[in-house]
Amino acid sequence: MNNKQNVGILGATGMVGQRFIQLLENHPWFQVSWLAASDRSSGKTYGDAVRWKLDTPLPPAIASMPVSPAVPDDAPQIIFAALDTDIARELEPKFAAAGCAVISNSSAFRMQPDVPLVIPEVNADHLALLPQQNWNAASQQRKGYIVTNPNCSAIGLVLALKPLEQRFGLRAVFVSTMQAVSGAGYPGVPSLDILGNVVPFIRNEEEKLEAETQRLLGRLEEGKIAPLNAKVSAQCNRVAVEDGHTESVSIQLAHSATRQDILAAWREFHPLRGANLPTAPAQPVEYDAREDRPQPRLDRMRGRGMTATVGRLRPCSLLHWKFTVLSHNTIRGAAGAALLNAELLASRGMLLPGVSVSPGTSA
């Protein structure tokens, strides 16, 4: 027997669902006790339902678990949700209304005013929005909620920007992405579209990247998030990379900063130091001084996939500074992001809904 908390996974057979299972194997605090997927999979064992696409083995104990229907009846109170947007919009409120803590990777509610969009190192204080949520008007006894993490293209960028915004202020951001195919799920991008090719379009991605960046860097003021007043312009491209989003970034700061100032801001960025969250990397933002780094194949797994690697810091002739940032899109940009959110909530006693979600417990 152990005293780990049971967690469930909604959308367990997809690419992000698989990453949840991989990252939760041997997790010190959580154990997977419930898996749900589409009706097509329901009733099968997980091993029969999934097309496992990761290069670590599917844990046998998970393989033999049944796939449950995506209803909250027998679900545990903590739910990791890896659903497509439309389905998330329908299902996540049902689980919240049933009293679950829904740790969501979907974009469905990210911009809803009372739903925190959180990167633990960046804006943990936004969790204070939680008590505003009211998914189940009828019952007050067991209050569920939804917490979201950002789009996979936003999270590396914002990790790199936060230490700079904090110290020097941020006026403008230009970002051009080269995104991995795993970001589109499975089957996702047809091979005929990406072999030897670039696709300069990902539906709704530029809008999300721009708006989420402003919200994540925004301030909590009188119970609302005031988005950062900085212009963000994004161009999103798909490239023939399996995992890891690479982004060319140019920024304008509010206050001048030298190269050494910026490197120090990144190096000294340790907002979770002392929190001992199992999934948190030792170094959330790591600068690589080699002239041709970061690269997705070589750098995406730093910090077990949770570190954002920056490189090529140099002056910009148009704004102030240019650099490249890379992060793993299905770990730091999806399943790992949600898992770190759950760990943050747990460390603050906010994870089991109905017990501890109250204004007094937020950061």
Q: Which stretch binds its own copies (CB under 8 A): 146-154, 215-223, 242-250, 258-266?
A: 242-250
**Pair 145, 353: CB distance under 8 Å:** yes
Q: Residue written as tokens 């300069």?
A: 200
12 versus 345: smaller Cβ distance to its own copies? 12
Phi then psi for 117, rounded to 5 degrees?
-110, 110
**Pair 51, 14: CB distance under 8 Å:** no
Amino acid letter, 113: P
Cis peptide leading into 187, omega within 30 of 0?
yes
Q: Which residues in 2-21 contact its own copies (CB under 8 A)?
A: 15
Rule CB under 8 A: say whether 190 interacts with its own copies.
yes
Amino acid letter, 28: P
Rule CB under 8 A: say whether 259 interacts with its own copies.
no
Rule CB under 8 A: say whether 191 interacts with its own copies.
yes
Residue 255's contacts (CB-CB under 8 Å, 6 or more residues apart) are 168, 169
Rule CB under 8 A: say whether 93 interacts with its own copies.
no
The whole-angstrom separation of Cα 160 and Cα 258 is 16
Q: Which of the 8 DSSP states describes residue 66? A: B
Q: Which two tokens stand for residue 208?
A: 């999300």
The whole-angstrom separation of Cα 89 and Cα 219 is 26
Residue from 97, 118, 232, 285 binding its own copies (CB under 8 A):
232
Closest separation in Å from C-beta 339 to its own copies: 21
Rule CB under 8 A: say whether 176 interacts with its own copies.
yes
Rule CB under 8 A: say whether 254 interacts with its own copies.
no
Rule CB under 8 A: say whether 53 interacts with its own copies.
yes
Residue from 137, 138, 192, 289 binding its own copies (CB under 8 A):
192
The whole-angstrom separation of Cα 259 and Cα 87 is 45
Closest separation in Å from C-beta 348 to its own copies: 32
Q: Which stretch binds its own copies (CB under 8 A): 71-79, 221-229, 246-254, 341-349?
A: 246-254
Residue from 30, 135, 174, 287 binding its own copies (CB under 8 A):
174
**Burial code of 311-336, b = ≥16 C-beta within 10 A, e = fewer?**
bbbeeeeebbbbbbbbbbbbbbbbbb
100 versus 175: smaller Cβ distance to its own copies? 175
Q: Catalytic site residues?
A: 152, 245
Rule CB under 8 A: say whether 193 interacts with its own copies.
yes
Q: Which residues in 144-173 contact its own copies (CB under 8 A)?
A: 172-173
Residue from 9, 16, 189, 335 binding its own copies (CB under 8 A):
189
Q: Kindly determine how many residues on this chain lie close enough to bind its own copies according to the rule CB under 8 A.
A: 62
Q: Which residues in 285-344 contact its own copies (CB under 8 A)?
A: 291-302, 311-312, 316-319, 322, 324
Q: Bridge partners of 68?
A: 36
**Pair 287, 265: CB distance under 8 Å:** no
96 versus 217: smaller Cβ distance to its own copies? 217
Residue 106 class from Cβ within 10 Å (0-12 exposed, 13-18 middle, 19+ buried)? buried
Closest separation in Å from C-beta 309 to its own copies: 11
Strand duo 170-179 + 245-253: pairing? antiparallel
Binding residues for its own copies, per CB under 8 A? 15, 53-57, 172-174, 176, 178, 181-182, 186-201, 210, 231-233, 235, 237, 239-242, 246, 248, 250, 291-302, 311-312, 316-319, 322, 324
